[in-house]
Structure 1
Amino acid sequence: MNETSCSLEGLWYPLFLSLADRVCLVVGGGAVGERKVRKLLEHGARVRLVAEALSPWLEQARLRGAVAYLGPAYRSDHMIGVDLVFAATSDEGLNRRIAEDARIRRVWCNMASSPHLGTCLVPASFRRGPLTVAVATEGLSPAVARRIRQSLENQFGPEWEPYLRFLGALRRDIQERTGDSALNQELFRALAELPLTDWIRRGRFAEMIDAVCELCRGIVPHERVATLWDKAWNTSC
């Protein structure tokens, strides 16, 4: 095995970022570029786009002002004021030039065709409300990452959204009612061990609420626990 490739393994630092109001540049208007733009807009980014040709969806996004179209040809000054750039063209030479410009300007760069040449990776991921599960293979096989993601999607079903919203609300309520940090941590661990997702999936809500109340030892009244669950459930539906 190549010594250099071995030394680079494990250097990718897993991190979740807030892109709200961040400026992101996407170079490439095909299927890959469209996929990148869709995700960026979903997460509140301000998207700048450079592409010779735009997919129908990207053309509509341009017309309604959802993205700032900078023209057909990439220039290095397009990188000014950018936080994150996506090189998503079919021209490998151009992608490499974009990556080099990003390196010089210290801008995070994602390389769709050659992930190892960029400075950040986009993992295969899915969401269940506040739960995000992401899988990456350090760019070695995005197809394998997608396969693992699909397997995990079956494991973590829609019941995880109300489950996490319920536990989060319950955690805040407990912290407001008692300042005993050691007791709280013990309680939170015990709550996490309950088979709540299974009960939610089976619709056994009354049993779930009773079990939570028993663990809470009167810290949170039964009526309050039921109210927190109802809110978590209705928010998730």
Structure 2
Amino acid sequence: MPCYPINLQISGRPCMVVGGGSVAQRKVGALLAAGGMVTVVSPALTKQLASLVEDKSIIHIPRSYRQGDVNGFFILICATDNNAVNKWVAEEGMSTGALVNVTDAPELGNFSVPSQISHGDLLLTISTGGKSPALAKKLREDLEKRYGPEYGIYLELVAKAREQVRKQLTTAKERESFWRSTLDQEVIILLKEGKIKEAEAKIKNAIGCTRTQS
């Protein structure tokens, strides 16, 4: 069945991960990076997860999942090594209205997590609907080569220039011309070489050039 793509704001929202192994560890890291308030339910944890508990970055319930644990949680991720447990927990989670992902069987939940590349505010995602993880991995690797950290820095610079653009370039045609000009390869190459000030100057100069041309 076709999926509806969406980027979800979870900052401050309660998220539960059931499982304490390496897969759960990766999921916890991604949830924390997005600002989620994470609770892990598992009798045992990896060293890294245990460290997060010590730092009070996550809450740990040191036992197996019990009925009702998921009540009040926005996101539930089932990441145990027991398929029957994952299925049972997922069904209960969906019955409460939670968004549920089962790591090794996404069809048992109501959302899946695509392969992704992230550089600052730049987020590129790839999904094959679970049909070919190998293809998703290859596409991610190809995109990582094409779109590196310099694109995340580019977004930071144009965000800083946005207010000036809004004030000085008053027509949609001018603004469209400006954004196209800042995306030329010269700016990206400067950023890739670490020449951030030079790239920023070129972006600012593009504002004046666009006004002159119009």
Category of TM-score, reference length = shorter chain: 0.7 to 0.9
Residue 164 of structure 1, CA deviation: 2.1
Q: Are 2:185 and 1:185 aligned?
A: no
Which whole-Å CA distance do the structure 1 matches of 2:162 and 2:92 have between them? 46
Structure 2: which amino acid aligns with 1:157? G
TM-score, normalised to structure 1, is 0.78
Task: Identify unmatched segments of 5+ residues in structure 2.
Answer: none
Q: Count how many residue pairs are aligned between Structure 1 and Structure 2.
A: 211
| Bigger Rg over Cα | 1
Structure 2 matches for 1:116-135, cutoff 5 A?
Answer: 116-135=107-126
Q: Deviations over 1:114-160 (max 9, x none)?
A: 01221111111122222111111112233332222122111112221
The 8 Å contact of residues 191 and 215 in structure 1, kept in 2 or not, is answered as no
The 8 Å contact of residues 43 and 62 in structure 2, kept in 1 or not, is answered as yes
Residue 182 of structure 1, CA deviation: 3.6
Residue 78 of structure 1, CA deviation: 1.0
Q: Are 2:11 and 1:23 aligned?
A: no
Larger mean Cα displacement after TM superposition, 81-90 or 50-59: 50-59
Task: Identify unmatched segments of 5+ residues in structure 1.
Answer: 1-7, 221-237
Call closer, same or farther: CA 1:211–1:52 in 2, change over 3 Å: closer
CA-based RMSD of the aligned residues comes to 2.5
Identity of aligned residues (%): 26
Give 3-state SS (helix, strand or coil) of 2:69's partner. Answer: helix
Q: Are 2:46 and 1:46 aligned?
A: no
The 8 Å contact of residues 125 and 134 in structure 1, kept in 2 or not, is answered as yes
Structure 2 matches for 1:1-237, cutoff 5 A?
Answer: 8=1, 10=2, 12-193=3-184, 195-201=186-192, 209=201, 213=205, 216-217=208-209, 219=211
Call closer, same or farther: CA 1:192–1:104 in 2, change over 3 Å: same
Residue 206 of structure 1, CA deviation: 5.4
Runs of 4+ residues deviating >4 angstroms: 202-212
Call closer, same or farther: CA 1:211–1:58 in 2, change over 3 Å: closer
Which whole-Å CA distance do the structure 1 matches of 2:203 and 2:17 have between them? 50
TM-score, normalised to structure 2, is 0.86
The 8 Å contact of residues 85 and 110 in structure 1, kept in 2 or not, is answered as yes
Residue 192 of structure 1, CA deviation: 3.2
Which whole-Å CA distance do the structure 2 matches of 1:16 and 1:170 have between them? 25
